[in-house]
C-alpha cells in the first residue's frame, strides 16, 4: 500500500481559515461546513451538534441515521430525506446555495432500494460521495469517471458490506481519498476494522476528527 493516512485533529484544528470542513462524528454521522452553511448528514452519533443546521440530509429512515432531534434547527432549516430525493423511482439532484446534492442508489439485503439513497455532494469544486448504508451497487461502476475527492464507504459486515467487498468498491470507485465509516455496530469508530480496507487511497478518520475539504 502506497499510503495510509491517520488524520491529526490537532494539526488540522491549527490550520487557519480553510473554507470548507467535514467533522466525522462517528458511525454514519457527519457535519459539513461550507459556503456559509452547516450541513448534517445522518445525525445520530458522537459530538458536534451544537451548531445550528441550515441543511440536514438523511439517507434512510433507520433510527441510527435519522435523529434530527439532535440538531439545532430553525424554521428555515431544510431537511431532505430519501423520500424527497428518490421520487417515482428517479434519483433527484438539488441545488442549495452553491452546493449540489445528488442522490444515488444505496441498497442491500437489509436496506430496500426504494427506501434508501447515497449522496454525492459538490462543494467548492470538490466531490464527496457518502454511500450511506449499502453494499455494491450498479451505479458504482461509473463512479471512477466522476473523480471523487472523497468516498465514504460503510464496512461493518453485518448490516452492510464487509471490508473485502468495501475494498473492491473502493478500487472500482477510485476516489482520491477513501474513508471507512459505519464500521462496527455500537461503536463510533473501530480502527482495526478501518485498516482492513485495502486500497491506496485509504484515509482513516477517527470519530471526532475534522478534516479540511
Total domain count for the chain?
1
Tens-place pLDDT, residues 19-68: 699 999 999 999 999 999 999 999 999 999 999 999 999 999 999 999 99
Confidence band of 77 (pLDDT split at 50, 70, 90) = very high
Structural domain contains residue 36 = yes
What are 30's three cell numbers? 457527519
Helix (H) or strand (E) holding 28: none
Cβ-contact 195, 206 below 8 angstroms? no
Full-model pTM: 0.91
Structural domain contains residue 38 = yes
Rounded to 5°, the CA angle 144-118-108 comes to: 95
At 2 the pLDDT is: 41
Tens-place pLDDT, residues 95-145: 999 999 999 999 999 999 999 999 999 999 999 999 999 999 999 999 999
Tell whether the model's pLDDT for residue 15 goes beyond 90. Answer: no
Structural domain contains residue 11 = no
At 149 the pLDDT is: 98
At 12 the pLDDT is: 38
**How far out from the chain centre does Cα 97 lie?**
20
Structural domain contains residue 4 = no
The CATH number given to whatever domain includes residue 68 is 3.60.15.10
Q: Which residue range is the domain that position 159 belongs to?
A: 22-206
Q: What average pLDDT does range 197-206 have in this prediction?
A: 98
Confidence band of 212 (pLDDT split at 50, 70, 90) = very high
Structural domain contains residue 14 = no
Cβ-contact 108, 133 below 8 angstroms? yes
**How far out from the chain centre does Cα 152 lie?**
5
CA–CA distance, 44 with 116 (Å, rounded to integer): 17
At 14 the pLDDT is: 35
Structural domain contains residue 12 = no
Structural domain contains residue 5 = no
Structural domain contains residue 170 = yes
Amino acid at each position: 500500500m502506497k499510503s495510509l493516512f491517520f488524520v491529526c485533529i490537532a494539526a488540522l484544528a491549527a490550520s487557519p481559515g480553510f473554507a470548507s470542513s467535514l467533522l466525522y462524528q462517528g458511525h454514519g454521522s457527519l457535519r459539513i461546513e461550507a459556503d456559509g452553511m452547516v450541513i448534517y448528514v445522518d445525525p445520530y452519533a458522537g459530538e458536534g451538534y451544537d451548531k445550528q443546521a441550515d441543511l440536514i440530509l438523511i439517507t434512510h429512515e433507520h433510527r441510527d441515521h435519522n435523529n434530527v432531534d439532535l440538531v439545532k434547527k430553525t424554521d428555515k432549516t431544510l431537511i431532505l430525506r430519501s423520500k424527497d430525493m428518490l421520487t417515482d423511482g428517479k434519483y433527484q439532484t438539488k441545488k442549495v446555495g452553491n452546493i449540489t446534492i445528488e442522490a444515488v442508489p444505496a441498497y442491500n439485503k437489509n436496506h430496500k432500494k426504494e427506501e434508501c439513497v447515497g449522496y454525492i455532494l459538490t462543494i467548492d469544486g470538490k466531490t464527496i460521495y457518502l454511500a450511506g448504508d449499502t453494499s455494491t451497487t450498479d451505479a458504482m461502476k461509473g463512479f471512477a469517471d466522476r473523480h471523487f475527492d472523497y468516498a465514504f464507504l460503510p464496512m461493518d459486515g453485518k448490516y452492510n458490506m464487509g471490508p473485502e467487498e468495501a475494498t473492491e468498491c473502493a478500487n472500482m470507485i477510485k476516489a482520491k481519498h477513501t474513508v471507512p465509516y459505519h464500521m462496527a455496530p455500537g461503536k463510533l469508530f473501530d480502527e482495526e476494522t478501518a485498516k482492513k480496507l485495502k486500497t491506496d487511497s485509504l484515509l482513516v478518520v477517527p470519530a471526532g476528527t475534522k478534516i479540511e475539504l
